Amino acid sequence: MELAIFYIILAGLFALFMAWGIGANDVANAMAPSVGSKAITIKQAILIAAVFEFAGAVLAGGGVTSTIRRGIVDASLLENQPELLVFGMLASLLAAGTWLVIASRKGWPVSTTHTIIGAVVGFAAIGIGVSTVQWPMVGRIAMSWIVSPVIAGVIAWLLFTSVQRLILERDNPLLYARRYVPIYMFLAGFFMTWVTVDKGLSHIGLDFTTLQSNLLAVAIGLGITAIGTFFMLRIPYQEPEKRDFHFVTVERIFGILMVITACCMAFAHGSNDVANAVGPAAAVVSVALSGNVTQEAIVPIWILIVGGIGIVIGLATYGHRVIATVGQNITALTPSRGFAAGLAAAATIVMASGTGLPISTTHTVVGAILGVGLARGIAAINLRVVGSIFMSWVITVPAGAALSVVFFLILRGLLG
Protein backbone atom coordinates (compact mmCIF):
# COMPACT_ATOMS: atom_id res chain seq x y z
CA MET A 1 0.00 0.00 0.00
CA GLU A 2 1.38 3.40 -0.91
CA LEU A 3 1.78 5.97 1.86
CA ALA A 4 1.79 3.11 4.37
CA ILE A 5 4.36 4.72 6.65
CA PHE A 6 2.49 8.02 6.45
CA TYR A 7 -0.77 6.36 7.55
CA ILE A 8 0.93 4.53 10.39
CA ILE A 9 2.56 7.69 11.71
CA LEU A 10 -0.74 9.56 11.40
CA ALA A 11 -2.57 6.78 13.25
CA GLY A 12 0.06 6.78 15.98
CA LEU A 13 -0.22 10.55 16.40
CA PHE A 14 -4.03 10.56 16.46
CA ALA A 15 -4.07 7.66 18.94
CA LEU A 16 -1.61 9.55 21.10
CA PHE A 17 -3.88 12.62 20.92
CA MET A 18 -6.92 10.67 22.03
CA ALA A 19 -5.05 8.75 24.71
CA TRP A 20 -3.80 12.11 25.96
CA GLY A 21 -7.42 13.29 26.19
CA ILE A 22 -8.35 10.17 28.14
CA GLY A 23 -5.45 10.62 30.52
CA ALA A 24 -6.19 14.31 30.96
CA ASN A 25 -9.84 13.90 31.77
CA ASP A 26 -11.28 10.45 32.00
CA VAL A 27 -8.79 9.05 34.50
CA ALA A 28 -9.96 11.56 37.08
CA ASN A 29 -13.49 10.21 36.91
CA ALA A 30 -12.26 6.64 37.09
CA MET A 31 -10.13 7.43 40.12
CA ALA A 32 -12.83 9.56 41.77
CA PRO A 33 -13.96 7.01 44.38
CA SER A 34 -10.36 6.50 45.45
CA VAL A 35 -9.13 10.06 45.69
CA GLY A 36 -12.43 11.33 47.06
CA SER A 37 -12.10 9.17 50.14
CA LYS A 38 -8.83 10.88 51.07
CA ALA A 39 -7.30 7.49 51.80
CA ILE A 40 -4.53 8.26 49.36
CA THR A 41 -2.89 11.59 48.65
CA ILE A 42 -3.23 13.22 45.25
CA LYS A 43 0.42 12.42 44.50
CA GLN A 44 -0.08 8.75 45.35
CA ALA A 45 -3.24 8.68 43.21
CA ILE A 46 -1.35 10.07 40.22
CA LEU A 47 1.49 7.63 40.68
CA ILE A 48 -0.90 4.69 41.04
CA ALA A 49 -2.85 5.88 38.01
CA ALA A 50 0.27 6.20 35.88
CA VAL A 51 1.65 2.75 36.76
CA PHE A 52 -1.58 0.77 36.71
CA GLU A 53 -3.23 2.52 33.75
CA PHE A 54 -0.15 1.61 31.76
CA ALA A 55 -0.11 -1.95 33.08
CA GLY A 56 -3.83 -2.38 32.39
CA ALA A 57 -3.46 -1.04 28.88
CA VAL A 58 -0.57 -3.31 27.98
CA LEU A 59 -1.55 -6.47 29.87
CA ALA A 60 -5.32 -6.50 29.53
CA GLY A 61 -6.17 -4.02 26.80
CA GLY A 62 -5.97 -6.45 23.88
CA GLY A 63 -9.54 -7.78 23.83
CA VAL A 64 -11.37 -4.50 23.60
CA THR A 65 -8.85 -3.21 21.08
CA SER A 66 -9.64 -6.14 18.79
CA THR A 67 -13.37 -5.50 19.07
CA ILE A 68 -13.01 -1.89 18.00
CA ARG A 69 -10.47 -2.78 15.34
CA ARG A 70 -12.47 -5.43 13.53
CA GLY A 71 -15.65 -6.23 15.43
CA ILE A 72 -17.73 -3.29 14.28
CA VAL A 73 -16.91 -2.80 10.61
CA ASP A 74 -17.27 -5.81 8.34
CA ALA A 75 -13.86 -5.59 6.74
CA SER A 76 -14.53 -8.28 4.14
CA LEU A 77 -16.83 -5.85 2.30
CA LEU A 78 -13.94 -3.41 1.95
CA GLU A 79 -11.48 -5.82 0.40
CA ASN A 80 -11.16 -3.79 -2.77
CA GLN A 81 -10.82 -0.42 -1.09
CA PRO A 82 -8.67 -0.97 2.00
CA GLU A 83 -7.85 2.74 2.15
CA LEU A 84 -11.50 3.46 3.05
CA LEU A 85 -11.00 1.61 6.31
CA VAL A 86 -7.80 3.59 6.93
CA PHE A 87 -9.53 6.92 6.31
CA GLY A 88 -12.49 5.91 8.43
CA MET A 89 -10.45 4.80 11.41
CA LEU A 90 -8.29 7.93 11.23
CA ALA A 91 -11.44 10.04 11.01
CA SER A 92 -12.91 8.23 14.02
CA LEU A 93 -9.83 8.95 16.11
CA LEU A 94 -9.87 12.61 15.13
CA ALA A 95 -13.61 12.88 15.73
CA ALA A 96 -13.50 11.25 19.13
CA GLY A 97 -10.46 13.22 20.23
CA THR A 98 -12.02 16.50 19.09
CA TRP A 99 -15.36 15.74 20.70
CA LEU A 100 -13.68 14.82 23.98
CA VAL A 101 -11.74 18.07 24.04
CA ILE A 102 -14.88 20.12 23.28
CA ALA A 103 -16.98 18.28 25.86
CA SER A 104 -14.30 18.44 28.54
CA ARG A 105 -13.93 22.15 27.97
CA LYS A 106 -17.66 22.62 28.45
CA GLY A 107 -17.77 20.25 31.40
CA TRP A 108 -20.24 17.90 29.69
CA PRO A 109 -20.27 14.36 30.96
CA VAL A 110 -19.27 12.24 28.00
CA SER A 111 -17.94 8.75 27.66
CA THR A 112 -14.83 8.12 25.59
CA THR A 113 -16.19 4.68 24.76
CA HIS A 114 -19.53 5.95 23.51
CA THR A 115 -17.76 8.58 21.43
CA ILE A 116 -15.41 6.21 19.64
CA ILE A 117 -18.09 3.58 19.00
CA GLY A 118 -20.37 6.30 17.65
CA ALA A 119 -17.53 7.53 15.45
CA VAL A 120 -16.65 4.11 14.03
CA VAL A 121 -20.29 3.17 13.41
CA GLY A 122 -20.87 6.63 11.95
CA PHE A 123 -18.20 6.59 9.28
CA ALA A 124 -19.04 3.02 8.31
CA ALA A 125 -22.81 3.40 8.14
CA ILE A 126 -23.02 6.86 6.59
CA GLY A 127 -19.65 7.22 4.89
CA ILE A 128 -19.53 3.78 3.27
CA GLY A 129 -22.84 1.96 3.65
CA VAL A 130 -25.18 0.68 6.33
CA SER A 131 -24.42 -2.92 5.43
CA THR A 132 -20.73 -2.58 6.35
CA VAL A 133 -21.64 -2.28 10.01
CA GLN A 134 -21.82 -5.52 11.98
CA TRP A 135 -25.06 -4.60 13.70
CA PRO A 136 -25.29 -7.66 15.98
CA MET A 137 -21.96 -6.68 17.54
CA VAL A 138 -23.04 -3.05 17.83
CA GLY A 139 -26.22 -4.29 19.51
CA ARG A 140 -24.20 -6.32 22.00
CA ILE A 141 -22.07 -3.29 22.79
CA ALA A 142 -25.13 -1.08 23.26
CA MET A 143 -26.66 -3.71 25.57
CA SER A 144 -23.47 -3.80 27.62
CA TRP A 145 -23.80 -0.07 28.14
CA ILE A 146 -27.10 -0.65 29.90
CA VAL A 147 -26.04 -3.80 31.71
CA SER A 148 -22.64 -2.68 33.01
CA PRO A 149 -23.84 0.06 35.40
CA VAL A 150 -26.50 -2.32 36.71
CA ILE A 151 -24.00 -5.11 37.35
CA ALA A 152 -21.59 -2.68 39.01
CA GLY A 153 -24.44 -1.36 41.13
CA VAL A 154 -25.46 -4.85 42.24
CA ILE A 155 -21.87 -5.83 43.11
CA ALA A 156 -21.37 -2.56 45.00
CA TRP A 157 -24.62 -3.12 46.88
CA LEU A 158 -23.57 -6.64 47.83
CA LEU A 159 -20.07 -5.54 48.85
CA PHE A 160 -21.28 -2.68 50.99
CA THR A 161 -24.07 -4.70 52.56
CA SER A 162 -21.52 -7.35 53.49
CA VAL A 163 -19.31 -4.65 55.01
CA GLN A 164 -22.28 -3.46 57.05
CA ARG A 165 -23.18 -6.94 58.20
CA LEU A 166 -19.68 -8.12 58.96
CA ILE A 167 -18.12 -4.97 60.36
CA LEU A 168 -20.03 -1.73 60.72
CA GLU A 169 -23.07 -2.98 62.62
CA ARG A 170 -21.03 -4.76 65.29
CA ASP A 171 -20.52 -3.59 68.86
CA ASN A 172 -16.83 -3.37 68.14
CA PRO A 173 -16.43 -2.59 64.44
CA LEU A 174 -12.69 -2.11 64.75
CA LEU A 175 -12.12 -5.66 65.89
CA TYR A 176 -14.16 -7.02 63.00
CA ALA A 177 -12.55 -4.67 60.50
CA ARG A 178 -9.17 -6.12 61.41
CA ARG A 179 -10.60 -9.57 60.99
CA TYR A 180 -12.44 -9.19 57.68
CA VAL A 181 -10.66 -6.46 55.71
CA PRO A 182 -7.79 -8.81 54.75
CA ILE A 183 -10.38 -11.07 53.11
CA TYR A 184 -11.54 -8.20 50.92
CA MET A 185 -7.89 -7.51 50.07
CA PHE A 186 -7.48 -11.08 48.93
CA LEU A 187 -10.70 -10.96 46.92
CA ALA A 188 -9.56 -7.82 45.08
CA GLY A 189 -6.10 -9.17 44.28
CA PHE A 190 -7.34 -12.63 43.35
CA PHE A 191 -10.17 -11.49 41.11
CA MET A 192 -8.25 -8.86 39.16
CA THR A 193 -5.35 -11.25 38.51
CA TRP A 194 -7.61 -14.13 37.65
CA VAL A 195 -9.59 -12.23 35.01
CA THR A 196 -6.46 -10.71 33.49
CA VAL A 197 -4.57 -13.97 33.29
CA ASP A 198 -7.54 -16.13 32.39
CA LYS A 199 -8.45 -14.18 29.28
CA GLY A 200 -4.92 -14.63 28.13
CA LEU A 201 -1.70 -12.74 28.11
CA SER A 202 -0.80 -14.41 24.85
CA HIS A 203 -0.08 -11.10 23.15
CA ILE A 204 2.89 -10.61 25.47
CA GLY A 205 3.98 -14.17 24.97
CA LEU A 206 2.54 -15.69 28.13
CA ASP A 207 0.16 -18.60 27.99
CA PHE A 208 -1.11 -20.18 31.18
CA THR A 209 -3.13 -23.31 31.77
CA THR A 210 -6.23 -22.96 33.92
CA LEU A 211 -4.41 -24.46 36.88
CA GLN A 212 -1.46 -22.15 36.45
CA SER A 213 -3.64 -19.06 36.21
CA ASN A 214 -5.63 -20.09 39.27
CA LEU A 215 -2.44 -20.63 41.24
CA LEU A 216 -1.00 -17.34 40.07
CA ALA A 217 -4.18 -15.51 41.07
CA VAL A 218 -4.12 -17.10 44.53
CA ALA A 219 -0.44 -16.26 44.93
CA ILE A 220 -0.88 -12.62 43.95
CA GLY A 221 -4.01 -12.37 46.10
CA LEU A 222 -2.12 -13.71 49.10
CA GLY A 223 0.82 -11.42 48.41
CA ILE A 224 -1.42 -8.35 48.34
CA THR A 225 -3.17 -9.53 51.50
CA ALA A 226 0.16 -9.93 53.27
CA ILE A 227 1.34 -6.43 52.34
CA GLY A 228 -2.05 -4.91 53.22
CA THR A 229 -2.22 -6.73 56.55
CA PHE A 230 1.27 -5.52 57.40
CA PHE A 231 0.16 -1.92 56.99
CA MET A 232 -3.13 -2.61 58.76
CA LEU A 233 -1.40 -3.95 61.87
CA ARG A 234 0.59 -0.74 62.12
CA ILE A 235 -2.64 1.13 62.87
CA PRO A 236 -2.92 1.06 66.68
CA TYR A 237 -5.85 -0.83 68.14
CA GLN A 238 -8.28 1.14 70.29
CA GLU A 239 -10.72 -0.04 72.87
CA PRO A 240 -14.31 0.48 71.72
CA GLU A 241 -15.01 2.89 74.61
CA LYS A 242 -13.45 5.74 72.69
CA ARG A 243 -16.42 5.67 70.43
CA ASP A 244 -15.88 8.93 68.60
CA PHE A 245 -12.51 7.84 67.29
CA HIS A 246 -13.62 4.30 66.75
CA PHE A 247 -15.13 4.73 63.30
CA VAL A 248 -12.25 7.00 62.34
CA THR A 249 -9.85 4.12 62.98
CA VAL A 250 -12.14 1.69 61.17
CA GLU A 251 -12.04 3.99 58.15
CA ARG A 252 -8.25 4.12 58.33
CA ILE A 253 -8.23 0.34 57.95
CA PHE A 254 -10.53 0.62 54.97
CA GLY A 255 -8.11 3.25 53.69
CA ILE A 256 -5.53 0.54 53.07
CA LEU A 257 -8.13 -1.45 51.16
CA MET A 258 -8.83 1.74 49.23
CA VAL A 259 -5.24 1.89 47.98
CA ILE A 260 -5.63 -1.62 46.59
CA THR A 261 -8.96 -0.66 45.06
CA ALA A 262 -7.39 2.39 43.44
CA CYS A 263 -4.80 0.14 41.79
CA CYS A 264 -7.56 -2.19 40.54
CA MET A 265 -9.55 0.73 39.20
CA ALA A 266 -6.61 2.26 37.33
CA PHE A 267 -5.77 -1.16 35.91
CA ALA A 268 -9.37 -1.73 34.81
CA HIS A 269 -9.65 1.71 33.27
CA GLY A 270 -6.43 1.20 31.36
CA SER A 271 -7.60 -2.19 30.10
CA ASN A 272 -10.89 -0.82 28.80
CA ASP A 273 -10.32 2.76 27.77
CA VAL A 274 -6.91 2.66 26.17
CA ALA A 275 -8.50 0.46 23.54
CA ASN A 276 -10.70 3.37 22.53
CA ALA A 277 -7.61 5.16 21.30
CA VAL A 278 -5.63 2.16 20.23
CA GLY A 279 -8.32 0.10 18.48
CA PRO A 280 -8.72 2.32 15.41
CA ALA A 281 -4.97 2.87 15.22
CA ALA A 282 -4.42 -0.90 15.30
CA ALA A 283 -6.83 -1.26 12.37
CA VAL A 284 -4.92 1.35 10.37
CA VAL A 285 -1.58 -0.25 11.13
CA SER A 286 -2.66 -3.75 10.15
CA VAL A 287 -4.17 -2.57 6.86
CA ALA A 288 -1.21 -0.36 6.06
CA LEU A 289 1.32 -3.08 6.76
CA SER A 290 -0.41 -5.94 4.97
CA GLY A 291 -2.30 -4.03 2.32
CA ASN A 292 -5.45 -6.04 2.93
CA VAL A 293 -8.24 -5.76 5.44
CA THR A 294 -8.96 -9.30 6.47
CA GLN A 295 -5.62 -10.25 7.97
CA GLU A 296 -6.10 -11.88 11.36
CA ALA A 297 -3.42 -11.08 13.86
CA ILE A 298 -3.24 -10.15 17.48
CA VAL A 299 -2.88 -6.51 18.34
CA PRO A 300 0.80 -5.54 18.17
CA ILE A 301 1.96 -4.77 21.67
CA TRP A 302 3.77 -1.57 20.71
CA ILE A 303 0.42 0.04 19.86
CA LEU A 304 -0.88 -0.76 23.33
CA ILE A 305 2.30 0.78 24.73
CA VAL A 306 1.73 3.94 22.67
CA GLY A 307 -1.76 4.15 24.18
CA GLY A 308 -0.39 3.63 27.67
CA ILE A 309 2.22 6.34 27.15
CA GLY A 310 -0.47 8.73 25.85
CA ILE A 311 -2.54 8.24 28.97
CA VAL A 312 0.44 8.83 31.23
CA ILE A 313 1.35 12.02 29.32
CA GLY A 314 -2.26 13.19 29.66
CA LEU A 315 -2.08 12.54 33.38
CA ALA A 316 1.22 14.36 33.74
CA THR A 317 0.25 17.42 31.71
CA TYR A 318 -3.30 17.95 32.82
CA GLY A 319 -4.93 14.97 34.53
CA HIS A 320 -3.22 15.52 37.87
CA ARG A 321 -5.02 18.83 38.27
CA VAL A 322 -8.39 17.26 37.50
CA ILE A 323 -7.71 14.46 39.97
CA ALA A 324 -6.84 17.05 42.61
CA THR A 325 -10.07 19.00 42.09
CA VAL A 326 -12.20 15.89 41.98
CA GLY A 327 -10.52 14.67 45.16
CA GLN A 328 -11.29 17.91 46.95
CA ASN A 329 -14.88 18.03 45.78
CA ILE A 330 -15.92 14.57 46.83
CA THR A 331 -16.23 14.44 50.58
CA ALA A 332 -19.15 12.05 50.81
CA LEU A 333 -17.19 8.90 50.09
CA THR A 334 -15.43 7.50 53.12
CA PRO A 335 -13.00 4.62 52.42
CA SER A 336 -15.56 1.96 53.39
CA ARG A 337 -17.89 3.33 50.68
CA GLY A 338 -15.23 4.23 48.17
CA PHE A 339 -13.81 0.74 48.36
CA ALA A 340 -17.19 -0.90 47.68
CA ALA A 341 -17.92 1.40 44.74
CA GLY A 342 -14.39 1.25 43.32
CA LEU A 343 -13.94 -2.48 43.55
CA ALA A 344 -17.39 -3.17 42.08
CA ALA A 345 -16.67 -0.88 39.15
CA ALA A 346 -13.19 -2.31 38.61
CA ALA A 347 -14.49 -5.88 38.67
CA THR A 348 -17.25 -5.07 36.18
CA ILE A 349 -14.90 -3.25 33.82
CA VAL A 350 -12.26 -5.98 33.88
CA MET A 351 -14.89 -8.63 33.24
CA ALA A 352 -16.22 -6.65 30.28
CA SER A 353 -12.69 -6.08 28.98
CA GLY A 354 -12.12 -9.81 29.26
CA THR A 355 -15.02 -10.47 26.91
CA GLY A 356 -13.89 -7.67 24.62
CA LEU A 357 -16.86 -5.43 25.29
CA PRO A 358 -16.05 -1.72 25.36
CA ILE A 359 -18.09 -0.26 28.22
CA SER A 360 -18.10 3.20 29.70
CA THR A 361 -15.94 3.49 32.79
CA THR A 362 -17.76 6.57 33.99
CA HIS A 363 -21.19 4.98 33.78
CA THR A 364 -19.96 1.90 35.57
CA VAL A 365 -18.51 4.02 38.37
CA VAL A 366 -21.76 5.97 38.67
CA GLY A 367 -23.73 2.70 38.77
CA ALA A 368 -21.47 1.42 41.55
CA ILE A 369 -21.87 4.61 43.58
CA LEU A 370 -25.65 4.32 43.21
CA GLY A 371 -25.44 0.74 44.47
CA VAL A 372 -23.72 1.90 47.66
CA GLY A 373 -26.31 4.66 47.96
CA LEU A 374 -29.16 2.16 47.76
CA ALA A 375 -27.55 0.21 50.62
CA ARG A 376 -27.98 3.41 52.67
CA GLY A 377 -24.27 4.10 52.51
CA ILE A 378 -24.12 7.64 51.10
CA ALA A 379 -25.67 10.70 52.72
CA ALA A 380 -26.96 12.28 49.53
CA ILE A 381 -26.78 11.50 45.82
CA ASN A 382 -28.11 14.00 43.35
CA LEU A 383 -30.23 11.89 41.01
CA ARG A 384 -30.66 14.71 38.52
CA VAL A 385 -26.90 14.77 37.88
CA VAL A 386 -26.88 10.97 37.72
CA GLY A 387 -29.63 11.19 35.11
CA SER A 388 -27.71 13.71 33.05
CA ILE A 389 -24.63 11.48 33.10
CA PHE A 390 -26.60 8.46 31.95
CA MET A 391 -28.37 10.45 29.27
CA SER A 392 -25.13 11.89 27.96
CA TRP A 393 -24.74 9.10 25.43
CA VAL A 394 -27.85 10.35 23.69
CA ILE A 395 -25.82 13.25 22.35
CA THR A 396 -22.42 11.59 22.52
CA VAL A 397 -23.04 8.75 20.07
CA PRO A 398 -24.53 10.88 17.26
CA ALA A 399 -22.00 13.64 17.89
CA GLY A 400 -19.12 11.20 17.52
CA ALA A 401 -20.79 9.78 14.40
CA ALA A 402 -21.41 13.17 12.77
CA LEU A 403 -17.88 14.43 13.40
CA SER A 404 -16.34 11.23 12.09
CA VAL A 405 -18.39 11.40 8.87
CA VAL A 406 -17.15 14.96 8.30
CA PHE A 407 -13.52 14.01 8.94
CA PHE A 408 -13.93 10.89 6.79
CA LEU A 409 -15.16 12.90 3.81
CA ILE A 410 -12.35 15.44 4.24
CA LEU A 411 -9.67 12.73 4.48
CA ARG A 412 -11.06 10.86 1.48
CA GLY A 413 -11.10 14.13 -0.48
CA LEU A 414 -7.54 14.99 0.45
CA LEU A 415 -5.86 11.59 0.26
CA GLY A 416 -8.17 9.31 -1.69
Partner 1 sequence: MNSTGYISRIFGASPVRPLQRHFDKAAKCAHKLPKFIRATFREDWSKADAAREKIILLEHAADDLKRELRLNLPKSLLMPVSRSDVLEMLSRQDRVANKAKDISGLIIGRKMVMPEAIQTDYLAFLERSLDTVTQARKSVHELDQLFESGFRGAEVDLLMEMTDELSRLEDQSDDLQVHLRRSLFAIEKELPPIEAMFLYKVIDWTGDLGDIAQRVGSRLHMMIAR
User: Which residues make up the interface to partner 1 (CB under 8 A)?
Assistant: 24-25, 28-29, 32, 36, 101, 104-109, 160, 163-165, 168-171, 173, 243, 247, 318, 321-322, 325-326, 329-334, 362, 365-366, 369-370, 373-387, 389
Q: Which of 247, 310, 281 is nearest to 27 (CA)?
A: 310
Residues 240-253 as b/e (b if ≥16 CB within 10 A, e otherwise) read eeeeeebeebbbbb
Burial (CB count <10 Å: 0-12, 13-18, 19+), residue 45: buried
In the complex with partner 1, the residue whose CB is nearer, 240 or 291, is 240
Rounded to 5°, the CA angle 218-270-341 comes to 70
Beta bridge partners of 199: none
Please, what is the minimum distance in Å from the beta carbon of residue 42 to partner 1? 13
Burial-class residue 383 by CB neighbours within 10 Å (0-12, 13-18, 19+): exposed
How near is the Cβ of 66 to partner 1 at its closest, in Å?
Answer: 29
Q: Which amino acid is at 359?
A: I
Nearer to partner 1 among residue 180 and residue 247 (C-beta): 247
Nearer to partner 1, 107 or 136 (CB): 107
Q: Which residues of 331-366 are buried (b: 16+ CB within 10 A; e: fewer)?
A: ebbbbbbbbbbbbbbbbbbbbbbbebbbbbbbbbbb
Q: Which residues contact 175 (CB under 8 A, 6 or more apart)?
A: 240
Least distance (Å) between residue 259 CB and partner 1: 19
We find the least distance from the C-beta atom of residue 383 to partner 1, in angstroms, to be: 4
- Least CB distance from residue 152 to partner 1, whole Å? 13
Instruction: Please report how close the Cβ of residue 306 comes to partner 1 at its closest, in angstroms.
Output: 22
Shortest spacing between CB 256 and partner 1, in angstroms = 18
Q: Nearer Cβ to partner 1, position 228 or 342?
A: 342
Comparison of 53 and 74: residue with beta carbon closer to partner 1: 53
Nearest CA among 20, 33, 12 for reference residue 346? 33
Task: Decide if 352 contacts 275 (C-beta within 8 A).
Answer: no
Our CB check for partner 1 shows the closer of 282 and 378 to be 378
Q: Could you tell me the smallest distance in angstroms from the CB atom of residue 213 to partner 1?
A: 33
81 or 325: CB nearest partner 1: 325
Spatial neighbors of 390 by CB under 8 A, at least 6 apart, are: 149, 363, 366
| Nearer to partner 1 among residue 234 and residue 243 (C-beta) | 243
